[in-house]
Structure 1
């Protein structure tokens, strides 16, 4: 007896290829909820609000040029203190140290010395202050908070005793041009060309890496790579079209940010700074010389004192007794708003610069609307609290993933 077996078709689920939309949305959501994304959104929201409230006068080449001049000192000092914060230290003497360095430059100018000599003297004074604070922190094992708090009092006290709390100046027009001068169109064009070439080079490197690893690089990755250089190039072209042009202050911001940013992200010393800030004990066990690293970071901060002092005196045209007052608070606020965690080990120089632009945008926009300086302080204080709250959120989020 034969039985015929009727074949039955097994029901098999045909896998549906996952759509790229949820993955793309997740990527966009991750970018928007990142530190840089939140900061960028906040800045754009403020810019749009001030543009609407000022009847279109906020976004103009002339006002953008003014904003660059206003931001230069804070951006440079915030970039320097960001390195100290990442390594796990703090500096409360920034305003007083920049004041004293700027005073040295002003004294050199009044004595008839040249612009270059004045800059070198200010940088030398800044390095001396950095060395003193570094040795007190490392050799005497005094917390940087106490050392720099003492520096906050000592450096300004020395300057006031030197000048009997009087103004020193005026400085030469060449010295003022270091911050307030308008760059020639040839330099503007060269900077635009450098930014465009940087975008092309980054795309080429990404393509070569993808070709080597035999993987496909998404289009959004290329967009992220070229966004910052191309936006910077477009901004330079737009600002240079105005009457005030692109100020030399832009060069100081770019050089300091590029130098310190490259040091943190590309070199061995930068990795040591991050490791030391995130876990000092583990860094020491890994063979990192903690004392030497901290000393070098304070020396870098000393160099920043000098540059910040030069820009401070150049912007005012003279050195006054109240120059740099509360500047340490603004610089630290800019670094924290830019995503540099006071816990150490997390942050970036570019974030600090973006934080400086955000705070300067608030000052510039509110001044344009006729809002009092007291209200500006309230707004900046609230933003600082929100930034610290976001830092705690990102820390908890990172710990939840690990």
Structure 2
């Protein structure tokens, strides 16, 4: 009898350990498993999905959103938000297009793009960190102002005449890899290092976890917030440059809804809207999930309207799961 009871208890312990292991695996690799399952599903539903050309095309298409999403991730970790990314891209696009003509060397439009994006980010950061405005209000104002500035600068019309050297940034290929994908990878790597291997990264997580405790610990919270918004603006400048180069024109209507796709990618990738939690890798996978879903549904001939509904449902589900996690803590 005692032996049977001991065997039962041992079996229960093993079952509990197995369940705990499964839960830990899902917590750590759940988003990656979802991406793999989505790829498998799409490859079954449409034979064209799994071709090398299509897979590279997915990453190339999502590189712009992915770069913006990587920029917005540290902001969300600090319990902030950035609604201005799409409009900043439009402003960068029309301004950089006037400097991407044959009269200027390639370095000029590159620095112009980075400068315009950085300036917009610094304004956002100043309003939030120094002006003590709610991030939602500050970046909503920038969203409206930047879009208006783009329309005013271009008189509401596209700006063409882009040089071939500049279009290489968005259309070129190096060793079989599209240049936007290479830039996307480099941005991801640099941001990962900043968040995981530097003091600034540790401060970002500390502020998101408990801002008051961060202040007590001597962290200059306003400076860190200014930095993360400026960095997001800088990446917005890179994204705007790539988009302008890819379509070979400056478009004042560019980037509409890009900020929501970027926020969605970050949240789907596990970045918590409650702050303190988020990874660059998760955001990249979140962007790829959106890209795989969009591409697969396009190949299946699903209406873009239905795609928006599906995307909205996924965002709501991700936020709901995030809120449930935080309630349990």
- Classify the TM-score, shorter chain: over 0.9
2:75–2:229 Cα contact (<8 Å) kept: yes
Q: Secondary structure at the match of 1:391?
A: helix
For residues 336 and 155 of structure 1, what CA distance do their matches in structure 2 show?
A: 25
Task: Show the 5 A alignment for 1:95-110.
Answer: 95-110=86-101
Deviation sequence 1:100-152 (CA, Å, 0-9, x none): 11222211113621222111110011111111122222222111111100000
Give the 3-state SS of the residue equivalent to 1:110 in structure 2: coil
1:154 corresponds to which of 130, 141, 145 = 145
Q: Is the 8 A contact 1:94 1:327 kept in 2?
A: yes
Structure 2 stretches of 5 or more lacking a match? none
1:52 aligned to 2:66?
no
Partner SS for 2:173: coil
Q: How far apart, in 2, do the equivalents of 1:340 and 1:96 lie?
A: 23
Report the CA distance between 1:305 and its aligned residue: 1.5
Q: Structure 1 residues 37 and 394 mapped into 2: Cα distance closer, same or farther (>3 Å)?
A: farther
Q: Is the 8 A contact 1:79 1:257 kept in 2?
A: yes
2:201 maps to 270
Task: Report if aligned partners of 1:69, 1:180 keep a CA contact under 8 Å in 2.
Answer: no
Give the distance between the partners of 1:111 and 1:100, measured in 2 at CA: 21
1:30 alignment partner in structure 2: 23
1:136 to 127, 152, 172: 127
Q: Which runs of 5+ in 1 are unaligned?
A: 1-10, 185-244
Alpha-carbon separation, structure 2, partners of 1:308 and 1:148: 18
Does residue 116 of structure 1 match 2:47?
no
Alignment of 1:51-90 (within 5 A): 51-54=43-46, 56-90=47-81
**Retained in 2: the 8 A contact 1:341–1:391?**
yes
Distance 1:171 1:63 in 2: 27
User: In the alignment, is residue 166 of structure 1 matched against residue 97 of structure 2?
Assistant: no
Figure out how many residues of one structure are paired with residues of the other and give that number: 325
Give, in whole Å, the separation in 1 of the partners of 2:215 and 2:29. 34
Tell me the distance in 2 between the aligned counterparts of 1:300 and 1:120.
15
Residue of structure 1 equivalent to 2:303: 372
Given that residues 50 and 58 in structure 1 are in contact (C-alpha distance below 8 angstroms), is that contact kept between their aligned partners in structure 2? yes
Q: CA RMSD in A?
A: 2.2
Cα distance in 2 for residues equivalent to 1:265 and 1:97 = 27
1:173 positional shift: 2.6
Alpha-carbon deviation of 1:337?
Answer: 0.6
TM-score, normalisation: structure 1: 0.76
Structure-2 residue corresponding to 1:353: 284
1:253 counterpart = 2:184: yes
Kindly provide the CA deviation profile for residues 31-64 of structure 1, in whole angstroms up to 9, marking residues without a partner as x: 4421x5221222222211211111x210111001
Q: Report if the CA contact (8 A) 2:122-2:233 is conserved.
A: yes
Give the whole-Å Cα distance in 2 for the aligned partners of 1:127 and 1:111.
25
| Rg comparison, structure with higher value | 1
Contact 2:127 2:133 (C-alpha < 8 Å) held by counterparts: yes
Question: Which whole-Å CA distance do the structure 2 matches of 1:170 and 1:327 have between them?
Answer: 25
How many angstroms does 1:21 deviate by? 6.7
Specify the alignment match of 1:125 in structure 2: 116
Which of the numbers 253, 271, 276 marks the counterpart of 1:322?
253
Report matched runs for 1:194-343 at 5 Å: 245-343=176-274
Preserved CA contact (<8 Å) 1:79 1:353? yes
1:309-329 deviation line (CA, Å, top 9, x unaligned): 111112222122321001111
* Alpha carbons 1:134, 1:299 under 8 Å: kept: yes
- The answer to whether the 8 Å contact 1:109/1:169 transfers is no
